[in-house]
Amino acid sequence: MPDTTGPTGPARRSSILVTGAAGNLGREVVARLRARGARVRGLVRDQGGPRPGAEWAVGDLTDPAAMRAALAGVDAVFLIWPLLDSAPAQDMVAELGAAAPRVVYLSSTAIDDRAVRQSDPIVQVHADMEALLREAGLRPVVLRSDTLASNARGWAPQVRAGDVVSGPEIARTAVVDERDVADAAAAALLGHHDRHEPYLLTGPEVLSRADQVALLGAALGRRLRFRAVTADLARSRMLADGRPERLVEALVAASLRRPESDRVTDHVERLTGRPAGTFARWAVDHAAEFG
């Protein structure tokens, strides 16, 4: 049985497992499901002290026994796959197949369905995961997300230190507020969406990094600037920060090879009933985190 704390709730309510429950997106999904009365079990790797308000399963996505315990009695799963390799997902997908919950998989809008190989390793993993889930007969609801606004949290130390945010340039995309993705995920988990085409969750406008940094500055009442650095400098900085080499190479590949996208969809609104929010709104709402 999973290591659980907190209320378990009546058995007839939907019971939903949220993976990555301590992450930027996962914690928003947990909060929304709880607010809508669902019984939620969050998968975390480290219990890290009391986590009130939900039931918690402690384990790794790559550990079949932990996944079996975490999946016991759940009707639906919000699945992320934050690894750089889909091979270790085979066992997890087998456990999903045995438990047969509804699966909502969080993928990437950067997938090109016509391509034999995707632009970079991160997008390739998402394409592989979608295929694995489909081949296992799980009929997942696939939410392909654009770049999450919450990635901007990584700029906070630079914003506190000065007016320049530097980093690798990355293709312009319709950055999406993770709260909208979480609302869409909650709707997909609690509703009965039989759509077999992936949802493409984007924000309302296409932004470069420079645009995002300027909008963040506006929210803070400051003139912030973005300065692009070369891939080599980005690589050496990330390695110096202690990030794993494989992740660093994947991020560098994404910055060099991911194509620009001018796609803006209404799929957030289709799932949630209201339009996607702007990055400017996200920046205002999160300004305190950069002070």
**Cβ of 20: how many Cβ atoms within 10 Å?**
22
Choose which of 3, 4, 58, 60 interacts with ligand NAP (CB under 6 A).
60
202 binds ligand NAP (CB under 6 A): no
Q: Is 80 in the site for ligand NAP (CB under 6 A)?
A: yes
- Closest distance to ligand NAP from the beta carbon of 146 (Å): 7
Stretch that binds ligand NAP, among 97-105, 140-148, 249-257, 274-282 (CB under 6 A): 140-148
User: Please, which residue, 20 or 222, has the CB nearer to ligand NAP?
Assistant: 20
Please tell me the count of residues contacting ligand NAP according to CB under 6 A: 22
Binder among 15, 17, 71, 81 for ligand NAP (CB under 6 A): 81
Q: Looking at beta carbons only, is 174 or 224 nearer to ligand NAP?
A: 174
First-residue to last-residue Cα distance in the chain: 42
Distance CA 31, CA 243 (A): 29
Give yes or no for residue 29 binding ligand NAP (CB under 6 A): no
**Of residues 227-286, those binding ligand NAP (CB under 6 A):** none
The span from the CA of 79 to the CA of 103, in Å, is 7
Task: Give the Cα separation of 159 and 165 in Å (integer).
Answer: 7
Residue 290 Cβ, how far from ligand NAP at the closest point, in Å? 17
CA-based nearest residue to 254, from 90, 128, 154, 126:
126
Structure tokens at 51: 């986590």
- Residue 15 bridge partners (DSSP): 39
* CB nearer ligand NAP, residue 159 or residue 201: 201
For ligand NAP, the nearest residue by Cβ is 23
One of 29, 33, 61, 215 touching ligand NAP (CB under 6 A): 61
DSSP string computed for 128-179: HHHHHHHHTT--PEEEEE--BGGGGGGGHHHHHH-SEEEEE----B--B-HH
Residue 108 touches ligand NAP, criterion: CB under 6 A: yes
Q: Angle 89-99/121-135 helices, nearest 10 degrees?
A: 30
Say whether residue 73 binds ligand NAP (CB under 6 A).
Answer: no
CB 18 within 8 A of CB 42: yes
Instruction: Name which of 14 and 151 has its Cβ closer to ligand NAP.
Output: 151
Distance CA(202)–CA(78), nearest Å, equals: 19
Residue of 147, 158, 212, 255 that binds ligand NAP (CB under 6 A)? 147
Cβ closest to ligand NAP, residue 59 vs residue 217: 59
- The helix-helix angle for 178-190 and 24-35 (nearest 10°) equals 50
14 near ligand NAP (CB under 6 A): no
Residues that bind ligand NAP (CB under 6 A): 20, 22-26, 45-46, 60-62, 80-83, 106, 108, 145, 147-148, 150-151
